[in-house]
Amino acid sequence: MNTTARYIIVVLAIIISLHYIVSFSHEGYGRATSLSNIASKLKHQPSGASDTDITGNSDTSYYGLPGNLPFANETLAINRHANATFVILARNSDLQGTVRSVREIEDRFNRKYRYPYVFLNEEPFTDEFKKRISVLSSAKMEFGLIPKEHWFQPDWIDEKKATAGREKMVADKIIYGGSVSYRNMCRFNSGFFFRHPLMEKYRWYWRIEPDVHFHCDIDYDPFLYMEQNKKIYSFTITMYEYEATIPTLWKTVMDFAKKHPEYIAKDNALGFMSSNNGDTYNLCHFWSNFEIADMEFWRGPAYTAFFDYLDKQGGFYYERWGDAPVHSIAAALFASKDQIHFFDDIGYEHNPYIHCTKDKAKWEKGKCSCDPARSFDYDGYSCFSKWETFMGKR
């Protein structure tokens, strides 16, 4: 062997040794360069508009698991993903409930689909929170801090008026009536979560809260369903809002609608919320703790102008406008009714209500753990039969 050949062998040996040392000491590098990852990347390139790397191996804020832990070797159910993410707003104190929600959505759906997660909080997530959540899935997980201006009460709110509004609600025993942080949360969910830097790269989201339950297997991709069927918003539960939390919301909405007729969709769902063409609001809304929806809708001109208009009226603080009626009314006015989808086959529970399909075939196929007799659909407080009548299904 000549000197050059020996020299090349020594250099190669050094490179290979370094590769192994770094693989073991740096998890991200190890994952990115593992043969199984390279092979799975070649097999599962997302197509279409999506440029999201669902495995997230190149992302430095990645907290997923290395390849030798649970689910990592499970075959992905599909080879096409939507450009989508789960989004979970939570406090550090919500850790245990968040663990339970992630665990359930993983078991019922995401272990096969591996959509990424974005966790958001107005305070930095603790290492403990990140550690306990990260162990639950091999999907990409990112933990983000909410910018102050997206969360806290803006300067232009008249604090005297806001305090008076809160005191009145406390006296009237309105749930969360005295809470400023609840109002911050509702305003954030109404107008800001889709503008968070970690959310900007995605188009579709599935909102999940701590301590919710998913009762049935979801053996297809709801994001792709939405995309392929041109849906923009979806729900599992619809109900009446507490009127005392939104005394001036409908008037504000109608003022906006009169100023901007160009944003009102042709075949809209106003008829679901008002039986007199908008004069009064029947308080029906979609329960937004579950949402699968298109952020292009929230980011578009109609919703941007709508949210800014509502925000300037101050009702998020002077009253207690919830993101549920705000999102629902916008979907009903600025989208056509056929763009709103009811996910009957997603068994969902947020205390105290459950949606559990009454269709026997779907219930069996989903191996549902919920009791259809307890489904909220036709409860007196539910708006679902109104929805069905409006959609011509009953």
Ligand X SMILES: Nc1nc2c(ncn2[C@@H]2O[C@H](COP(=O)(O)OP(=O)(O)OP(=O)(O)O)[C@@H](O)[C@H]2O)c(=O)[nH]1
Site for ligand X contains 153 (CB under 6 A): no
Of 291, 296, 319, 364, the catalytic one is 291
**Which tokens sit at 383?**
């708006």
Q: How far apart are CA 251 and CA 368, in angstroms?
A: 42
The nearer residue to ligand X, 90 or 226, going by C-beta atoms, is 90
Kindly identify the residues of this chain, within the stretch 270-299, that bind Mg ion according to CB under 5 A: 289
CA distances from 354 to 20, 141, 182, 229 (A): 50, 28, 23, 26
Which residue sits closest to Mg ion, CB atoms considered? 209
# residues near Mg ion by CB under 5 A: 2
- Catalytic residue at 291? yes
The nearer residue to Mg ion, 352 or 392, going by C-beta atoms, is 352
CB of 228 to ligand X, least distance (A): 29
**Binder to ligand X among 63, 64, 87, 94 (CB under 6 A)?**
94
**Which tokens sit at 100?**
């339970």
Q: How far apart are CA 323 and CA 375, in angstroms?
A: 23
Q: Are 349 and 212 in contact (CB under 8 A)?
A: yes
Residue 317 is classified by DSSP as: H
Beta bridge partners of 214: 348
Place of tokens 């698991």: 65
CB of 262 to Mg ion, least distance (A): 35
CB of 287 to Mg ion, least distance (A): 10
Q: How far apart are CA 341 and CA 236, in angstroms?
A: 9
Kindly identify the residues of this chain, within the stretch 40-69, that bind ligand X according to CB under 6 A: none
Contact code string over 289-318 relative to ligand X, x by CB under 6 A: x-----------------------------
Q: How far apart are CA 102 and CA 63, in angstroms?
A: 14
CB of 97 to Mg ion, least distance (A): 9
- What are the φ and ψ backbone dihedral angles of 77, each rounded to 5 degrees? -70, -20
**Binder to ligand X among 85, 110, 121, 137 (CB under 6 A)?**
121
The nearer residue to ligand X, 224 or 239, going by C-beta atoms, is 239
**Binder to ligand X among 56, 67, 165, 210 (CB under 6 A)?**
210
**Binder to ligand X among 53, 59, 122, 344 (CB under 6 A)?**
122
For the beta carbon of residue 293, count every other beta carbon within 10 angstroms. Answer: 26
Pairing of strands 348-350, 213-214: antiparallel
The nearer residue to Mg ion, 209 or 217, going by C-beta atoms, is 209
Q: How far apart are CA 215 and CA 210, in angstroms?
A: 15
The nearer residue to Mg ion, 240 or 263, going by C-beta atoms, is 240
Beta bridge partners of 205: 85, 293
136 binds, among Mg ion, ligand X, none (CB under 5 to 8 A by kind): none
121 binds, among ligand X, Mg ion, none (CB under 5 to 8 A by kind): ligand X
Kindly identify the residues of this chain, within the stretch 154-193, that bind ligand X according to CB under 6 A: 181, 185
The helix (run of H) or strand (run of E) holding residue 286 is: strand 284-286
Site for Mg ion contains 209 (CB under 5 A): yes
Q: Known catalytic residues?
A: 291
Residues contributing to the site for Mg ion (CB under 5 A): 209, 289
